[in-house]
Amino acid sequence: MSYTKKRYLVYIFITIFTFTMPFITIDNNHILLLSFDKLQFHFFGFVYNVNELYVMPFLLMFLFIGIFAMTTLFGRVWCGWACPQTIFRVIYRDLIESTILDIRRIKNKQKELDYSKKSIHLKKYISIFLWLIITIVISTNFMWYFVPPEDFFLYIQNPSEHMFMIIFMLSVALFLVYDIVFMKENFCVYICPYSRVQSVLYDDDTKQIVYDTSRGGDVYVNAEKSIFKMKEWNSNEECTTCEACVKICPANIDIRKGLQVECINCLECADACDIVMGKLGKKSLINWGSTNSVINKKTTKLLTKRNISYFVSLILCIILAIVFASKKEPFLLNINKTTNLYKIKEEQKVTNNYILTFHNTQDKTYTFDIKLEDNENFAIKRFKAFKLEPNKRVKKIFIVETKKRLFISKTQNSALKIKINSFALENENISLSRELSFIYPRSDLIK
């Protein structure tokens, strides 16, 4: 099977996966969702509130380190085989323009269309219209990762109340029209930073698109093309100078020139060369392999110092993400002190006031209560158990007092640490501990 057919199968799998994943849930929680509406992040069935996104940095580090590791090992395989930009260009250029409307030759992707012909001019507008419809579907799918489908289909019934969502979707769709129809592969070359980074990550063991100069011969010398016809070869070089690899390249480059920033590892040039050389009973001159394996005829090293460091970093990111994810609290409780540090009342009572913010991140209604660990020196003056519905947040006044004479300092106020336990009456597993600071006045202020 050719690389092109393999890529198309990968594109189909990615498309199906991307469209179905928003509908997959685990215990009513999504596989991947960043909800700005509910301030939640769903990841493989786990739900994290915006205040507990401590797992996110490790996931981002894993993503970026993983991209670097993947590029070091396999080159720009992401660009040619999984990048949305490349997939969208294939849909528009190869499917709509070439297969459906027949206005472009699929084997000559560098030839510009002749818009002077009315038939092509009309079909061009039809292709843009068809792509616009597809972009609306794409932007809708993109929105499902921020607004879950069950909410999205309710919101879309009242568009006037959700204009921001509608405008955002249309903006994404129009950008994709401009990007895919007019900007084309220039996006990869001039805008995407990944193409600039790749040259730093490549070495002689990196798998990439390599033209075998030992068999085909040097078409370019000092970056200048020196061979134009097959009869110009001085010896038994195998390149036929048919330039099938050049015509089919979507990035408009000649791979025989060597590694270039525009190359996206789509391997269409390898397929084109394989067809031509296959008719001569020979193997393709263009291969997906490292410089060492194709040109230097050496064994590619996988466990280099750089690769090992990448693997170790990725493993550490996974371990840290799991460790921090396991510390997810059953509900959220924030403690803030009021502007008054303390109050001294009759009978030498000292009180401290706090504002507690409870956030029930569970999917059930629970009754929350609080108790102090130190019941001998301190007591709860004001707080009653209350019920809180799922995904709701409420603020409560919490007052702690002490009747004991805690002579700690004669010159300054003292901050005492008190542990409190907050819990749900219906489920003993839903509980957490917090430490608050109790300010006790200096001894000369208490009579």
Q: How crowded is residue 81: how many other Cβ atoms within 10 Å of its Cβ?
A: 20
Q: How far is the C-alpha of 444 from the C-alpha of 377, rounded, in Å?
A: 20
Please report where in the chains the tokens 């709509």 appear, as a residue.
96
Residue range 297-311: mean pLDDT, rounded: 83
Please report where in the chains the tokens 């510390």 appear, as a residue.
327
Residue range 299-322: mean pLDDT, rounded: 85
- The upper half-sphere exposure of residue 318, i.e. CA atoms within 13 Å in the direction of its Cβ, equals 7
Q: Which domains does the chain have, with CATH numbers?
A: 3-199 (no CATH), 203-294 (no CATH), 332-445 (2.60.40.10)
**Measured CA distances, 30 to 62, 195, 249, 362 (Å):** 21, 33, 39, 15
Dihedral of alpha carbons 49, 50, 52, 57, sign = positive
- Tell me the range of 14-18, 52-56, 78-82, 399-403 where mean pLDDT is highest: 14-18
Please report where in the chains the tokens 């010159």 appear, as a residue.
411
Average pLDDT, the chain: 85
Residue range 404-412: mean pLDDT, rounded: 72
- The residue that leads in pLDDT, 187 or 48, is 187
User: Residues 11, 17, 19, 25: what is their CA dihedral angle, to the nearest 10 degrees?
Assistant: -170
- The upper half-sphere exposure of residue 235, i.e. CA atoms within 13 Å in the direction of its Cβ, equals 7
- The upper half-sphere exposure of residue 411, i.e. CA atoms within 13 Å in the direction of its Cβ, equals 0
The answer to whether residues 389 and 395 touch, using CB atoms and an 8 Å cutoff, is no
DSSP state of 206: S
Residue range 154-168: mean pLDDT, rounded: 89
What is the Cα gyration radius of the chain?
Answer: 32
Q: How far is the C-alpha of 32 from the C-alpha of 363, rounded, in Å?
A: 18
Q: How far is the C-alpha of 44 from the C-alpha of 191, rounded, in Å?
A: 32
pLDDT at residue 144 greater than cutoff 70 = yes
Query: What is the pLDDT, as a whole number, of residue 116?
Result: 63
Please report where in the chains the tokens 């009572």 appear, as a residue.
349
pTM of the model: 0.75
**Residue 53 identity:** L
| Residue of 334, 446, 350 whose CA lies nearest to 396 | 334
Express each pLDDT in 359-392 by its tens digit.
888 878 999 999 988 888 888 888 999 999 888 8
Q: How far is the C-alpha of 219 from the C-alpha of 258, rounded, in Å?
A: 10
pLDDT at residue 120 greater than cutoff 80 = no
Q: Which two tokens stand for residue 426?
A: 């219906």
Please give the backbone phi and psi of residue 337, each rounded to the nearest 5 degrees, phi first.
-85, 150
Q: How far is the C-alpha of 340 from the C-alpha of 417, rounded, in Å?
A: 17
Residue range 20-38: mean pLDDT, rounded: 86
Three-class SS of residue 354? strand
The b/e string for 250-277 (b: 16+ C-beta within 10 A; e otherwise) is bbebbbbebbeeebbbbbbbbbbbbebb
| Residue of 336, 376, 332 whose CA lies nearest to 353 | 336
Query: What is the pLDDT, as a whole number, of residue 107?
Result: 67
Q: How far is the C-alpha of 51 from the C-alpha of 39, rounded, in Å?
A: 9
What residues pair up with 356 in beta bridges, in sequence order?
A: 335, 396
Least confident piece of the model among 344-353, 366-375, 433-442: 344-353
**Residue 376 identity:** E
Least confident piece of the model among 13-17, 118-122, 163-167, 216-220: 118-122
Express each pLDDT in 42-100 by its tens digit.
887 777 776 666 777 888 888 888 888 888 888 888 888 899 999 999 999 889 988 88
Residue range 173-200: mean pLDDT, rounded: 86
